Amino acid sequence: MSLIITLYVREGIVMASDSRLSLNVQQESPQGQSVLLSVGQSDSNYKTFLTPTRVGISTCGAAEINGVPVAGYVESFINDIVAPKRLEVDQVAQETLKHFQSFTPSPAIMFHVAGYKAQKPSSDQQVWVVEVAKGSVQRVNPPGQQGASWSGEADILARLLQPVGQLDPAGKVVAQFPVHPIPWGFFTLQDAIDFAIFAVRSTIDAIRFQPRAKTVGGPIDVLVIKPTEAMWVQRKALRATTS
């Protein structure tokens, strides 16, 4: 699993993801009991990608297809299908579902696909969520509104943002703390970048101290897409290992 998040504001789109690749390993104890272990295999996995048509793609869920990391399949999809056809954002979303459903069995992978569709009088900002196993392609950003969408290991972020209440003896929900909703509508592009990093970093840090599988971790990649350009705010780079 992973955590991917996409924020959409008037100035642009921000996509962020962690870098951990986890494997589920089945082992037997000396007593013959079967134990499922989640092992962090790598912290250099790419989960957010940029196409030549300035469409961003983020992935979470199943980490491999046929024993190979999903990142390689996404890059091949971009190079072999998206780039030659110069697909726009809505077409990329549809082709993502079609392409990854061609594998047997259909992998339990989720994608965020985001970018701008060229049209007059102004480009249309679009954010799509693609769920391969469910055969679902859904646009999640209402036109003209700002907001955020996240997928994967989302329980920590949800607990940080959702109101906390308790049932009284009469069965009524009583708020335990003041509620301070996130004012998505007032976010600038820099706010969106900061929140994306906060969301992934908070999840990484919380999971570190919790007795659970360490499925989110490593460097945080952050992509910004604007109507006329796209840029990496931060992205891990290949490097030579030093002794």
pTM of the model: 0.91
From 36-40, 80-84, 120-124, 156-160, the region with the lowest mean pLDDT = 36-40
From 39-53, 71-85, 135-149, the region with the lowest mean pLDDT = 39-53
Mean pLDDT, range 167-195, rounded to an integer: 90
Cβ partners under 8 Å of residue 133, min gap 6: 106, 107, 108, 109
Cα distance between residue 146 and residue 53, in whole Å = 23
Among 86, 13, 14, 15, CA closest to 47: 15
Show me where the domains of the chain are located. 3-234
Phi, psi of 56 (to 5 degrees): -95, 145
From 69-78, 137-146, 167-176, 181-190, the region with the lowest mean pLDDT = 167-176
Handedness of CA 163, 168, 171, 172 (dihedral sign): negative
H or E stretch at 203: helix 189-209
Among 113, 101, 195, CA closest to 157: 195
Evaluate if residue 35 carries a pLDDT over 90. no
pLDDT of residue 191: 98
Which residue reads 């769920």 in tokens? Answer: 131
The proportion of the chain whose per-residue pLDDT surpasses 70, expressed as a percent, equals: 94
Per-residue pLDDT tens for 82-104?
999 999 999 999 999 999 999 99
H or E stretch at 131: strand 124-131
Mean pLDDT, range 139-163, rounded to an integer: 94
Instruction: Give the CATH H-level superfamily of domain 3-234.
Output: Aminohydrolase, N-terminal nucleophile (Ntn) domain (3.60.20.10)
Mean pLDDT, range 150-164, rounded to an integer: 92
pLDDT of residue 130: 98
pLDDT band at 36 (very low <50, low <70, confident <90, very high): low
Is 42 or 224 the better-scoring residue by pLDDT?
224
Hey, how many other C-beta atoms are within 10 angstroms of the C-beta on 10?
12
Cα distance between residue 204 and residue 20, in whole Å = 10
Among 50, 150, 135, 52, CA closest to 94: 135
Mean pLDDT, range 41-65, rounded to an integer: 95
pLDDT of residue 154: 94
Is 164 or 16 the better-scoring residue by pLDDT?
16
